[in-house]
Amino acid sequence: MTTIVDPHVTGAEELAIAYLQRRAIESALDELKTHQLGPRTLLRSKSPDLAFQEICGHLCCHYAIRTLIWEAADQAGKDPDRVSFVAALRPARRSVGQRGAFPS
């Protein structure tokens, strides 16, 4: 659906590109909110500055997992958009929970 009623204002190709971009953003938000954080996750920070910092941390984590997906798909000659975020998230969570995951 769109509010653009004049077909001369925006062409079909521009609308299709905008839809694909919107769909990619919605998919990334779903990965972050539903799978990475979980449906009932609340920010723990009590001040706006710390809440902003916490959100940035979650976004950095999402970016890191997406980067790992891209690198693995590139090495395998696959399309990174076809790699499951959840499948990549599980081993990332396990590795962070292991002793010695972070050097001292």
pLDDT value of residue 69: 93
Helix, strand, coil fractions of the chain, as percent rounded to 5:
70, 0, 30
Residue 32: exposure state from Cβ atoms within 10 A (0-12, 13-18, ≥19): middle
pLDDT value of residue 103: 62
pTM for this structure?
0.71
Question: How far is Cα 67 from Cα 73, in angstroms, rounded to an integer?
Answer: 10
15-72 pLDDT, tens per residue? 888 888 888 889 988 898 888 888 777 888 889 999 999 999 989 999 999 999 999 9
